[in-house]
Structure 1
Amino acid sequence: MELANRSTLMAGILLEIAANSIESALAAEAGGADRIELCDNLEQGGTTPSHGTIAIARERLHIPIHVLIRPRSGDFIYTEAEREVMLYDIEHCLQTGCDGVVLGALDAEAEVDSTFCRAMRAAAGNMSLSFHRAFDLCAAPERSLEEIISLGFERILSSGLADSAPLGNAQLASLVRQANQRLSIMAGAGIRPENLAVLVAASGVTEVHASASGVHFGTLHHKRKLHGLAADFLETQTELVRELRQVLDQLA
């Protein structure tokens, strides 16, 4: 079982940061994050980071690391070849000593792909399991929540089926009531320091997920704007993480 840091124990709300690079992961820890979801390609909803990123993050960070298992952007219906990649990545996370994996799969009817999720759960060993925002695309979220519980997941990341968690407050509150402490509903998408307190109060969630990112402006002295070769990129901002942490601490 993961150990929360002191601020989490005080506030009762866990702060997870979606970190899209090793620098973002280090910034998240410096700002007071309790856990990171390590990923790549935040602009496309996140994909699996490189094996090198996972290994260095595990070596340098002192907080729990959950790794996103998603081989590409787009829908959550996977081919046999993509499933092989995902199972291999899960095994690598287990071997590297990661604390958890973040995964999910759907079928063409927008139901949880229980067979493949069960295979991924088996590959994950004793790592913690989070079901990602594929949940927000489920045709019948109440039924899917029960299925995810039966599969042994510990949390669901959700915006409450809305474009952002603040807009999905009512649905998040309903999911929290239905889960009834059998798993955690973690609110994510569009969370900022200025809307966090209201979100937590309205939904009753005990875990929140944010990227706390801003634009890192490239440092090339000579820049040429070419498609696919942008110098600027998103990176977690330590100060934004610290502001989120302070809001949660004030709710204690």
Structure 2
Amino acid sequence: MSKRAVLEVIALDAGDAVAAEAGGADRLELVTDMAADGLTPSRETFAAIRAAVDIPLRVMLRLADGFAAGDVDALVRAAGALRSEGADEFVLGFLTEAGDADVPVVETLVAELGGCRWTFHRAIDRAGDRDAVRKQLADLPGLDTYLTAGSAVGVDDGMTTLLAESARDGEPGYTPHLLVGGGLRLDHVSRLKSGGVTGFHIGGAARPAGWAGPVSTPAVEEWRRVLDR
């Protein structure tokens, strides 16, 4: 029996969260400010969403656009505040100017998370050497997912990379789940599933009116139907 695909949907507020859960989302990624590609939401927003839905929530730890960590102390404070509010899953990822994983920063944040599960996000798509990043992070506690399009420009360009990485599942550095997102469309799903991918992440695809509009339950339902087909 094949494993049921995981559908993660970006939520900006409690309304998004309720609509996504009603449509069949398995998990939400909580962010604010999509103009900056998704930053850390407020503690209050997290609390409102946590009260509104029952599905797991992964909270973004990122305070500025780009993939440099910036103010690490502020990131640690944000992580601590969210933990104290009950957050127990996170999304993060930082690179050095050379395009390597910023391991000291990631280690500092992971220590603050105290064993919580977390996703290394699409920073991997901007890395100089994807395989090296995976090896650098392989022993960090809690890392169970890579969110990736396989390419900085999206799934169309990254498909070959995604399928190659899926085929390496279980190798050193390749035990975290592959969560595919970034220009992901419904017509990509069949090929990805055939290649063993079981995690799918959508943002704009859940919002027919664009980022200015809310998550659409029917749009999420359509993704759920296609993933379960």
> Matched residues in 1 for 2:53 and 2:64: separation?
26
Deviation at 1:214, TM superposition (A): 2.7
- Judged with a 3 Å threshold, the aligned counterparts in structure 2 of structure 1 residues 163 and 154 are, in CA distance, closer, same or farther, namely same
Given the alignment of the two structures, is residue 170 of structure 1 paired with residue 160 of structure 2, yes or no? yes
What is aligned with 1:240? 219
- Judged with a 3 Å threshold, the aligned counterparts in structure 2 of structure 1 residues 31 and 10 are, in CA distance, closer, same or farther, namely farther
Q: What runs of 5+ residues in structure 1 fail to find an aligned partner? A: 1-8, 217-231
Given the alignment of the two structures, is residue 136 of structure 1 paired with residue 111 of structure 2, yes or no? no
- Judged with a 3 Å threshold, the aligned counterparts in structure 2 of structure 1 residues 179 and 117 are, in CA distance, closer, same or farther, namely farther
- Provide the identity percentage: 28
Aligned equivalent of 1:214, options 176, 201, 208: 208
Given the alignment of the two structures, is residue 102 of structure 1 paired with residue 95 of structure 2, yes or no? no
Given the alignment of the two structures, is residue 187 of structure 1 paired with residue 166 of structure 2, yes or no? no
> Matched residues in 1 for 2:167 and 2:80: separation?
34
SS in 2 for 1:236: coil
Mean CA deviation greater in 55-64 or 175-184: 175-184
Deviation at 1:11, TM superposition (A): 4.8
Instruction: Please list the CA deviations of residues 161-216 of structure 1 after superposition, one character each: whole Å capped at 9, or x if unmatched.
Output: 24222431110112223342611111001223343223322x42111100112327
Amino acid at match of 2:81: H
Amino acid at match of 2:155: A
Given the alignment of the two structures, is residue 149 of structure 1 paired with residue 142 of structure 2, yes or no? no
Computed over aligned residues only, the root mean square deviation of the Cα atoms, in angstroms, reads 1.9
Deviation beyond 6 Å, 4+ runs, structure 1:
none
Given the alignment of the two structures, is residue 61 of structure 1 paired with residue 56 of structure 2, yes or no? no
What is aligned with 1:48? 40
Residues 40, 49 of structure 1: 8 Å contact kept: yes
Instruction: Please list the CA deviations of residues 215-249 of structure 1 after superposition, one character each: whole Å capped at 9, or x if unmatched.
Output: 27xxxxxxxxxxxxxxx814221111110001111
> Matched residues in 2 for 1:10 and 1:178: separation?
18
Amino acid at match of 1:185: L
> Matched residues in 1 for 2:187 and 2:167: separation?
25
Amino acid at match of 2:227: L
TM-score normalised according to structure 2 size: 0.90
Residues 126, 152 of structure 2: 8 Å contact kept: no
TM-score normalised according to structure 1 size: 0.82
Deviation at 1:84, TM superposition (A): 1.4
Which is greater in Rg?
Answer: 1
Aligned equivalent of 1:39, options 18, 31, 34: 31
